[in-house]
Amino acid sequence: MDILFPRLTGGLVNALNAKMFSFPGISPVPIKIINQSRLQKAMMFELSMARAESELRGGVVASWDECLVVASKRQRRHFDARIPQKLEQVDILVADHAARNLIAMLNSVQAQRPTAVLEHAPLIPGLGWVASGNGDFAIGSTLIEVKHTERNFGAGDFRQILMYWLLRYARAVENDNAIWADVLLLNPRRNGALLINFDHLSRSASASSNRVELVELLRHAVGQDFDRR
């Protein structure tokens, strides 16, 4: 990532975060209530993601116990995850607030693009030893990534979305598929959002403004063959 995006420094990160905005009618999750929960923060907000995803898909909404099963399965990928046996009322209160915020944010975005369909877990193609994976959401040509951080978006967040975009573009070169033009970063915990054009971000963060050169740099770093999953 340092080879691909050497200019993704603190100055650029601060300049990007200066363009953050909030959604009207949405309140941040109170830090006082968050601190009352004994859950790991990652588990708590994974729980809120599971709940929001269930509601956004329509149909029968998953119970909190069912959401805990989904969140626990995802968190078990992390070596330091602590899986709770049950949820306390304050855990549900925090997770529900964050889920409500995310749903309201996504509904607001979709209302501005009524013909576009909200896509869950868009595919991120693999390349070489980089495995394929999934993003959070996408709508039209916009990737949507959710971060429940207590601070502004960090360099690691921008590296992640740049890698997602580059992997998607590298696959699109082969099969002529559409690529994402923008990314919308959402923070339901703080009611913060940031919309960035990928070309602008790539030119600002990389040593090259040429997409093909970036793809070749990536191929050189991780190998030539796509993960076909």
Q: 163 in a domain, yes or no? A: yes
Q: What is the pLDDT of residue 214?
A: 86
Q: What Rg do the C-alpha atoms of the chain give, in angstroms?
A: 18
Which residues on adjacent β-strands are paired with residue 187?
A: 192
| Residue from 4, 178, 31 nearest 98 by CA | 31
Show pLDDT as tens, one digit a residue, over the chain (229 residues). 888 888 999 999 999 999 999 999 999 999 999 999 999 999 999 999 999 999 999 889 999 999 999 999 999 887 777 888 899 999 999 999 999 999 999 999 999 998 999 999 999 998 888 889 999 999 999 999 999 999 999 999 999 999 999 999 888 877 777 889 999 999 999 999 999 999 999 999 987 768 888 888 888 877 655 444 4
Q: 228 in a domain, yes or no? A: no
Q: 5 in a domain, yes or no? A: no
Number of domains in the chain: 1
Q: What is the pLDDT of residue 224?
A: 59
Residue by residue, DSSP assigns the chain as -TTT-TT--HHHHHHHHTT-B--TT--PPPHHHHHH--S-HHHHHHHHHHHHHHHHH-SSPPPHHHHHHHHHHHHTTSTT----SS--HHHHHHHHHHHHHHHHHHHHHHHHSTTSPEEES-EE--BTTB--EE-SEEETTEEEEE---SSS--HHHHHHHHHHHHHHHHHHHHH------EEEEEETTTTEEEEEEHHHHHHHHSS-S-HHHHHHHHHHHH-S-----
Give the Cβ contact number of residue 220 at 10 Å.
11
Q: 227 in a domain, yes or no? A: no
Q: What is the pLDDT of residue 212?
A: 82
Q: 104 in a domain, yes or no? A: yes
Contact of 22 with 192, CB cutoff 8 Å: yes
Contacts of 112 by beta carbon, 8 Å cutoff, 6+ apart:
none
Q: How far apart are the first and last CA of the chain?
A: 23
Residue type, 9: T
Structure tokens, 181 = 């033009």
Q: 2 in a domain, yes or no? A: no
Q: 205 in a domain, yes or no? A: yes
Contact of 56 with 48, CB cutoff 8 Å: no
Task: Quote the CA–CA distance of 137 and 139 in Å, as a whole number.
Answer: 7
Q: What is the pLDDT of residue 123?
A: 93
Phi, psi of 171 (to 5 degrees): -70, -40
Residue type, 97: H
Q: 1 in a domain, yes or no? A: no
Q: What is the pLDDT of residue 228?
A: 47
List the domain range (segments joined by +) for residue 72.
Answer: 10-222
Angle at 56 between CA 53 and CA 134, to 5 degrees: 45
